[in-house]
Amino acid sequence: MDIGAQIRNLLEQDGITQKQLAEFLNISTTTLNGYVQNRRQPDAKTVIRLASYFNTTTDYIYGITTLREPLATPYNAEERHLINIFRGIPEDKRSLYIETGRTFSTFGRKKKS
């Protein structure tokens, strides 16, 4: 999904007008409309402000993730690596990866007597 579509969806979901958002961002409505119509691309600072306004992440604004809610605790590098490995596995093999992970997560735990 493109940035314009993300902004349109967020505006609709939150019942916000382009004019209201433009005022918050301190940009012209013409500039914002350029983002919405994909004629212009916001700079990184504007994307951060958009994410802050809508209480989401820049990844959501860019369409990298479909999760609007920010994570309570960000992933560390190893967790991101595992997620990337998982995403590279064919869907029909993912259950094996999950079961292997479950097996390793219990490995070494002492049984309660």
Cα distances (angstroms) measured from residue 71 to each of 36, 56, 67? 26, 9, 9
The tens digit of pLDDT for each residue in 56-77 reads 889 889 888 777 776 566 778 8
Domain 3-62 has CATH 1.10.287.990: no
78: confidence class by pLDDT, cuts 50, 70, 90: confident
Listed by start position, the domains of the chain span 3-62, 77-106
pLDDT at 27: 95
Q: What is the sign of the dihedral through the CA atoms of 92, 72, 47 and 44?
A: negative
Residues 85-101 pLDDT 10s: 888 889 898 899 888 88
